[in-house]
Each structure stands twice: as structure tokens, then as C-alpha cells.
Structure 1
Amino acid sequence: MAILQRPSVSHPRDVLLGAQAGSVQLPVCDHYSGVEARMRKSLQLQADMTQEFGTCVFDVTLDCEDGAPVGAEAEHAALVTELAAGAAPKARVGVRVHPVDHPSFQADMATIAGRAANRLTHIMVPKVESVADVHTAEQALTAAGAVDLPLHVLIESPAAVHRAFDIAAHPRVQSISFGLMDFVSAHGGAIPADGMGIEGQFTHPLVLRAKLEIASACHAHGKVPSHCVVTEFKNTDAVRVAAQKAARELGYTRMWSIHPDQIRPILEAMAPSEAQIEQACRIILAAQAADWAPISHAGQLHDRASYRFFWQLITRAHQTGCSLAPEVQMFFDASSASGGAK
């Protein structure tokens, strides 16, 4: 008589995640700095908070576009390359280069990607207007020998928003960010100045439409939508409210920071509640025990569709430094030991 073998328990990521189920997972905060002293402080803060939370809870993106002094672009590119190369072993560091039509773009890519690709998590390309711009960036990475380095792109115009789905579909693109201030300015005064403020950016129809288009495009192709900056950087309550709205109402899973004081409010706003985490852990552990077959939990039926949702919630909890049950934390410890997991 044949004996049925119980299948081995797989990692939830392998069982549950498909092409349209969040195939890319990134820290929920992307912190930008471009002045040397602030770049060094940002990298140290990242190392300190990684030790505090047990995981890297935000990316540091070193900025060439707004950080490089005019006429000293090459020197700034060399500086960010040096900083990236000297970052802590587990650091997550990206670089924003100049736009593809800027005279320094090719030199940026040759220097930064050519010398530090193995230490970088991504290259951010601003003012992307079309898939052609993505191709140009991809070719520059290939020429620099950085054949596997992901691209993050910044959409900043109405025309680019119109092409968001095509841009998100490009396999090299990992994340799309929304450039609020350039987007508002591109409308020639049709959007009032308060459309760039903490309230107007969540109420003006054209701004809201653009944000939703970018988020929808990203989710359609398994990419990460990253919300724009809040310029009222001394108002941590405003940052927290903006992050909550971006995450809960607009579908954003990542947000820019431009000041160290913005990082923790973004983490807190994008983190699940303790009750949500506890529920998700209970359901995932019960599903694991059932070999991912349907289960009944608290009087409700759950199957792989809801398991996927709760696993993504747990992943976000881990990314924001929340405490997890030991039986669930082991999934992330095992992923780290095997080279990382999405």
C-alpha cells in the first residue's frame, strides 16, 4: 500500500506571491540627502536604526541631481561613489543621478554604476518622460557593467503620468516615485500653489488623479509606488498624516523623506497595528499548519487569496521594525540567511 508523503512546508513567499502580488518589497521609507555632511549622517543613522530594529527600515538615496554644485558634477559623483562603497556591509544605498538629457548623465552612470554597482540597491533616474528614457538609462547601466542594478524612476509631468503603465511594465524598473512640485509647476498655473502643500496635494483632483495612476500602474506590474516628499519637514504630525493617507487611501507602500525627523513618523504611519499583526500571524501560522489549504479562523473562511494579503501585511510589519511572533520571525531570519527575500 502506497504511503502518502506529507509535502514539505514552503516559505510563504514562495507559496503565495505571484507577479501581481507585490513581487518587489522595499523599505517603506526612502531618505534623500545630497550635502556631504548630511549624506554621512544619513548613512550612520541607517546603521544605527538597523541595529535598533534588527532590519534595515529605510533606504538612503544619495543625491546628485539636487546635491551636486553646478560645475562640480563629476566631483560630486566621485564623492557619492566613495560614500556608497564605504557604507556598512548591510547598508541599503541608492543614488539619484541627473536626468537622461542632462550633460552629466552619462558620466554619472559611468562613475557611480561603473565603480559601485555591487554596493548599490538602485539608481534613481529623475524626470523620466517615457519608456525611451528608461531604455537610455538601462543602456547606460549596461555600458557601465551594472547589468543587474534596478532602476527607480521619478515621474514629474502630465505626459509621464499618461505613460505610467508602460513605464511600470519595463522589467528594469523596480519603483516609481511621484514628483509633486514639478508636476504642479508643469500645469502653468492651472493648479494653485497650495496643490504642493500638505492639504492641497491630497485634495486637488489633478494631483490625486496622478498619484492614483502611478500607484495603479505599479500594482499592475508588481512594482513599488513611492509617495512624494512633504516639504513641511519640521511638522512631524503633517508627515505622519500624509504617510497614512498615502498608504491607506492611495495605495502607496513607500514614501520619500528629506529630513531625518521624517523617518520615524513615516515608519509609524505605514506600520500595521498590533492587532492587525497578531491577526495576520495567527492566520498565516494556521495556514502553514494546513499546508496552505483553506481554513476557518474566527468564523471566517480564508484561502490563498487572503493568505497573500496577510503575508504582505506581515512583511510590511517586518519592514517597519515591528515585533513579530518568533514562529513568524523565523521566516525572515531564514530569508536573511539564504541571501534575502522579497
Structure 2
Amino acid sequence: MTSERGTSEKVLDPRHPNQVLYPGGEPFPALAACVHYAGSEKLLRKSIRLQLESAVGGQPLFDISADCEDGAPTGCEHQHAQMVTGLIAGPDNPFGRIGCRIHGLHHPAWRDDLETIVAGAGERLAYLVLPKAECADDVRDQIRALEAARARHGIDREIPVHVLIETPGALHEAWQIAALPQVECLDFGIMDYVSAHHGAIPAAAMQSPGQFDHPLVVRAKCEVAAAALGNGVVPSHNVTLEFRDTERVAEDARRARREFGFLRMWSIHPAQIEPVVVAMRPDFAEAEEAAAILVAGQDADWGPISHAGQLHDRASYRYWWELLQRAHTTGTALPETVRRRFFADFF
């Protein structure tokens, strides 16, 4: 049976948590815990191979963001966008989990990036990343342009949007940005955010432990996570610059998850992917408990149940369902019966 993550096809089960636990609303997005950025064709192809080789049970452990903003050589932006389009639309993208970061609104290449990628790969593009917004209106303008391109090229499926919060203005309007239609993820861009403060924040705040200690950076992380989670979208944490120190990467991911509520984190080097995924993974005992509660809840047609001496109903089912999805997307081994019940037709 085809999977939703690989194609737009979706088999609806009236007893599935996504169909039952979110009346009048949308399920929380089930995104991979790691998103790996690559710019050149060589690095993108290497990333695609790694995505395939590391998949667990047909599920990729990380998404790939093809970078048109920082990856395109000056003067070759159109050719770079064409290369990215070919990779996303081509046969070497079996999971359909490659997104793309285009140029910012104030760069002359952004419209051509968008037009080229939507026209050639709109049916396979996992998401579109919008950088350098100064306010919610900037994001609205690019979403309108995306919708117009979809209409021109007959792309029926909605293309999710991920927005980089990396300017003081965007941070100020993070709640409005997160509430915009199609926004699926808010990414915190620490380097541009620190640079935008004209030297008032030291360079040490781009690294650890400074990035978790400096008040202005801590405030920004809290605001991004709160705005995202408050609007039902995924908060994504910034990169770790010490890309060869995998223990540093893992510790940053753990702190981002446990102290700030981030559910996803960037990678800029293949060595960072596994530490991020493992650090973001729920505890195995929690995943087991989630599976047991949800199986019992489904068997009770999502009515209240008693499990281990505690009452559970639809409010707690939502918590355990989202935890179980995080376990699944981070490669936690789940019983086959649980995979068949909850993931075979949806992912």
C-alpha cells in the first residue's frame, strides 16, 4: 500500500487517531526530527543516498532541504534551481521528503526559484522554506506567489511552507506567521538573528553554551517554540556549528528538546544527523506506554479507559499519539501490530 509520505495518496481509517482525536482541527504535523541542509549537487546526491540507506521500515529518518539561497553560485541561480528541481522530481527521491529553501523576498532570484521548482517539481516537493522575512506580510506575499504558481501549473496538492525566523521583525510577529495558512514549521535561524543585532549579541551566543544562556537568544528560542506549538506547527531548532563534535551536537539537540520544546533540528553535515535523531527520540519506555494506551483506546472506540490505574480519554490520547508519532519518525522499534494499526496506511 502506498504511503502518504511518498505520494499524495492517503487511505482514511475512521478509527485512526488522526480521524478521531482532532474534531474540527488538523492533526499536528508528523515531521522527521532532523532536517539536513545541502547545497551542491554532489552533497545533495550524497544526502539522498544516506536518506535511503538509513531508512527504518520504509521510513526516512531525516528530511533533506535543498538549498537555493546559500547553495547557488552568484549568477547561476536559475541553473541551480533547475538542478534542484530535477533531483526532487526524479527517480532518486523515493520518499518524497526533499524540500527546498528559496532565496529571500528581497533577492531578485526568489520568484524564479519558486516558479522553476513549482513548475517542475510541485507534485513532489515536500515543503518550501522561506527565509529572511521581516514581518508576517512578507510571508503572506510569498505564500500568495506560491499559490499563484500552483494554479498556473495545475498543482492540486497543497505545498507546506516552513518559515525561517531569523530577524527581529519576524520574531516580533512569529505568532502571526505561525497562524498563516500552509505554514507547517517555524525554523529558528540563530546566525542571522545574532548578526541582525549589530554586535550587541556576542559571537559566542551562536555556539554552546552561549546559545542557551544569552537572554536575547533564549528569549528568541522560547518565542519561536511557543508561537509554533501554540498554532499547531513544528518548531525547528538551529544548527550546531561544531559539526565534527557529535557529542556537542547531541547535547544541543537534547537541550533544545527538553528545555525549549523544539521537536526538530537542522543538520549541516552528515555526521550531525544521527546524534540529532537519537537525542530527539522519545524514551523507549514512553513509546511502549503510548502504544499500549492507544491500542486500548482504539479497541474501546476512543472512549475512556483505565490503564495502569490511571484514567485516559481523548485529551490524553492526543498526547500519547503525538509521542508515538515522534517515536516512529525517529526510528524507534515498534511492534508490528502497532505499526499496522497506526502507520501502515498513513506514513
Does the TM-score normalized on the shorter chain lie above 0.5? yes
Shift of 1:333: 4.0
* Structure 1 position 300 matched with structure 2 position 272: no
1:58 aligns with 62
Tell me the number of residue pairs that the alignment of Structure 1 and Structure 2 aligns. 329
* Structure 1 position 152 matched with structure 2 position 162: yes
Shift of 1:251: 1.0
Q: Any residues of structure 2 matched to 1:240-255 within 5 Å, and which?
A: 240-255=250-265
The gaps in structure 1 that reach 5 residues or longer are 1-7
Write the deviation string for residues 127-165 of structure 1: whole angstroms up to 9, x where unpaired.
112221112212222232256211111011122111000
Contact 1:21/1:308 (8 A) holds in 2: no
Contact 1:62/1:80 (8 A) holds in 2: yes
The gaps in structure 2 that reach 5 residues or longer are 1-12
Shift of 1:22: 5.2
Letter of the aligned partner of 1:165 in structure 2? W
Shift of 1:212: 0.9
Write the deviation string for residues 86-123 of structure 1: whole angstroms up to 9, x where unpaired.
13332311111100110101111111112111111111
Contact 1:20/1:221 (8 A) holds in 2: no
2:6 aligns with none
2:127 aligns with 122
Q: Secondary structure at 1:32's aligned position in 2? A: strand
* Structure 1 position 67 matched with structure 2 position 71: yes
Contact 2:32/2:62 (8 A) holds in 1: yes
Contact 2:207/2:241 (8 A) holds in 1: yes
Q: Secondary structure at 1:118's aligned position in 2? A: coil
1:331 & 1:190 partners in 2: Cα distance?
A: 53
Contact 1:46/1:56 (8 A) holds in 2: yes
1:3 aligns with none
Are residues 21 and 141 of structure 1, via their aligned partners in 2, closer, same or farther at CA, if it must alter by over 3 Å?
closer
* Structure 1 position 38 matched with structure 2 position 7: no
2:24 & 2:128 partners in 1: Cα distance?
A: 22
Contact 1:30/1:60 (8 A) holds in 2: yes
Letter of the aligned partner of 1:84 in structure 2? I
1:238 aligns with 248
Q: Secondary structure at 1:335's aligned position in 2? A: coil
Identity %: 49
Contact 2:97/2:126 (8 A) holds in 1: yes
User: What is the TM-score with the length of structure 2 in the denominator?
Assistant: 0.90
Letter of the aligned partner of 2:124 in structure 1? R
Letter of the aligned partner of 1:265 in structure 2? P
Q: CA RMSD in A?
A: 1.7
2:280 aligns with 270
Q: Any residues of structure 2 matched to 1:1-342 within 5 Å, and which?
A: 10-17=15-22, 23-50=28-55, 52-86=56-90, 87-145=92-150, 146=155, 148-336=158-346, 340=347
Once structures 1 and 2 are overlaid, which stretch shifts more, 140-149 or 279-288? Answer: 140-149
